[in-house]
A and B are shown apart, each in its own frame.
Chain A
Amino acid sequence: MPIYPLKETRQSPQSQTKAFSWLKDNLFSSLSNAALTFIALYLIYLILPPILDWMIFDANFDLTADNDSCGREGACWAFIDSNLKMFIYGFYPQEELWRVNTMFGIIIGLVVFGSLIKKSQYRAHYIIGAFLIYPIVAFVLLHGGLGLEVVETDKWGGLTLTVVVAAIGIVASFPLGILFALGRQSKMRVVRFISVVYIEFVRGVPLITILFMASVVLPLFFSAGMDFDKLLRALIGITLFQTAYIAEVIRGGLQAIPKGQYEAADAAGLSFMKKTVLVILPQALKVSIPNIVGSFIALFKDTTLVLIIGLFDMLAIVGAATSNSSWLGRDTEGYVFVAMVIWVILYSMSLYSKKLETRFSTEHK
């Protein structure tokens, strides 16, 4: 019988010319791939230089410049600088801006603290507590009361409004979405019927329609004299809308759970509630995370539609700022800036969801 000696391990030949082989594998692996690479390079050559010229090389970075001295061949970033407060806070009173800052500061503090106590056994209590208490604190800070001067919601605007609308939409639609997802799976006919009708109706209608309906139809339910807050209408509309999408996403997660999990939970004697909360939902939510975050990102973009019913979110602020006679015609700067800010926020959200995904899949599948 022949006996074979153990072989030495060797370096892969590829690792020696890394850059070259990467190029070859990724950009020039075949003739058509190479052609695409050249086309892409050409397109970049066409598009990128003018943009860079406008944004950087021909732009005026002199923040003291005014509309006339700025010049028209490139961007005038002084416009952003002198309107920055408006972009962030809308028409919120100058003296009260600290309240908005405090609100954002607290939430950042809460998140940082939460990530520091990852191992603590009280983490769940902390998170639930924060979820219950923070909205009240935030509302008092933003709106006033308890000795703080009241700032009506029509003064809210800019990035603050965008974030507030998206955050409330996200936080409120999440539990509602779970309820409707469970409702759609329920054995009770009526519950199932209501859930299906609601979800399918809302998903069949664009958000704009729902926002219009919320702003026109909702007040009909209240007596004429009562002023029904415009922002509240938008929030209700957005929450109703988002609930249906979250419900569908979570239903997908529920369907991914094997029958054996239900059986094991049943056999152990868990009640329906305990089975759902302890066994089914954690697994369903985990598989749904990418889609949930995707849906939240879509919502964040959609919140810009509130400008249609007269709220001044960040996008609407561009219009307001450039209608001011001293900055006429600087819309491009405004929209580019808003696009960049929103992109940074959304891209961070999607990075975070990737991180969550990998954390879950390495910790426990």
Chain B
Amino acid sequence: MSELINKEVGEKGCCEIIEINALNKWYGDFHALKDIDLKVKEGEIIVVCGPSGSGKSTLIRCVNFLEKFQEGSIVVDGTELTDDVKKIRRVRSEVSMVFQHFNLFPHLNIIDNLTLAPIWVHNETKQAARDKALQLLDRVDIKDQAKKYPNQLSGGKQQRVAIARALCTSPKIMLFDEPTSALDPEMISEVLDVMVELAKEGITMICVTHEMGFAKKVADRIIFMDEGQIIEENEPESFFKNPESDRLKLFLDQILSQ
């Protein structure tokens, strides 16, 4: 516990790497994100939680422009997200995403899944991409499966491959959208372990998850969303000990009693 308390937002990098200002997003008439302001420092680990439909996925999907937004601004590492395809691609080449349902490419084997973006987006040589991919697979402990196809692996392994794939482009920022929710219970920890390791290495992470143990362990800040708004944010200690809003209290009651 002590190491957690020592962790201070201040000791993370100097600069804001993600700046979200007055972000509003509608799906048709439905107001999905309301006046979101969020600044993330380099190296910071943010956990986003909240009830289903509260806009968590929508928020992080705005960061790599998988979702368009109507109002407000998002600046990622100095690049403001607009309709400009070049800027979008620049941001996407620095931001990697891990999805709830892995979304590995089923027609490619594991190694080709990993090397696709390095070769075709980052213009790396095949050999360099392969070497790096093998290293990363080793790190997530599935080096021996490099020649297999995604559907031949268990869910937990597929998600670890997906994390390795996301890391293969050396991103500055990692987005996780409920990476463990689609997994069988016995496989959750193998994925969380990998994420904890990652968090220790100083990469910037925004992670939508309901794994409160994970949040306690690694988060610098936890953000609670409801109905498209950020209701409360705090560092983990106070977040769990002294929730202020009733909604968060209710939410924590429900989620921690499980």
Q: State the A residues within 8 Å of B (CB).
A: 258, 260-261, 263-271, 274, 278-279, 282-283, 286, 363-365
Contact = CB atoms under 8 A, between A and B. Distances in A.
B99 A260 contact: yes
A283 B106 CA distance: 8
Which 8 interchain pairs have the tightest Cβ spacing? A364-B149, A269-B92, A264-B103, A260-B103, A268-B117, A267-B97, A269-B93, A269-B121
Interface in B102-127: 103-107, 109, 116-117, 120-121
8 contacts: A258-B103, A260-B103, A263-B99, A264-B105, A267-B97, A268-B169, A269-B89, A363-B149
Contact of A270 (B99, B106, B121): B121
Given A261-B105, A269-B92, A286-B107, A278 B66 contact: no
Nearest to A281: B107
Interface string B6-24: 0000000000000000000
B201 to A, nearest CB: 21
Given A268-B116, A268-B169, A269-B89, A263 B103 contact: yes
A72 B240 CA distance: 99
Contact of B99 (A264, A274, A278): A264
A279 B92 contact: no
Contact of B66 (A263, A271, A279, A283): A263
A363 B120 CA distance: 24
Contact of A266 (B92, B151, B169): B92
B89 A271 contact: yes
Contacts of A278: 116, 120
Interface of B: 64, 66, 89, 92-93, 95-97, 99, 101, 103-107, 109, 116-117, 120-121, 149-152, 169
A364 B150 CA distance: 8
A189 B193 CA distance: 47
Contacts of B95: 267
Nearest to A365: B151
A264 B108 CA distance: 13
A173 to B, nearest CB: 23
Nearest to A275: B120
B96 to A, nearest CB: 7
Contacts of B103: 258, 260-261, 263-264
Contacts of B120: 270, 274, 278
Given A269-B89, A269-B93, A269-B121, 19 more contacts: A260-B103, A261-B103, A263-B97, A264-B97, A264-B99, A264-B104, A267-B64, A267-B66, A267-B95, A267-B96, A268-B116, A268-B169, A269-B169, A270-B116, A278-B116, A279-B116, A283-B107, A286-B107, A364-B107
A268 B91 CA distance: 10
A270 B108 CA distance: 16
A261 B169 CA distance: 18
B121 A268 contact: yes
A260 B116 CA distance: 16
Contacts of A282: 107
Contacts of A279: 105, 116
Contacts of B96: 267-268
Contacts of B97: 263-264, 267
Contacts of B99: 260, 263-264
B84 to A, nearest CB: 14
Given A263-B66, A364-B151, A365-B149, A269 B117 contact: yes
Nearest to B97: A267
Contacts of B92: 266-269
Contacts of B93: 269
A365 B97 CA distance: 23
Contacts of B101: 260
A364 B109 contact: yes
B66 A266 contact: yes
A264 to B, nearest CB: 4
A276 to B, nearest CB: 12
B130 to A, nearest CB: 13
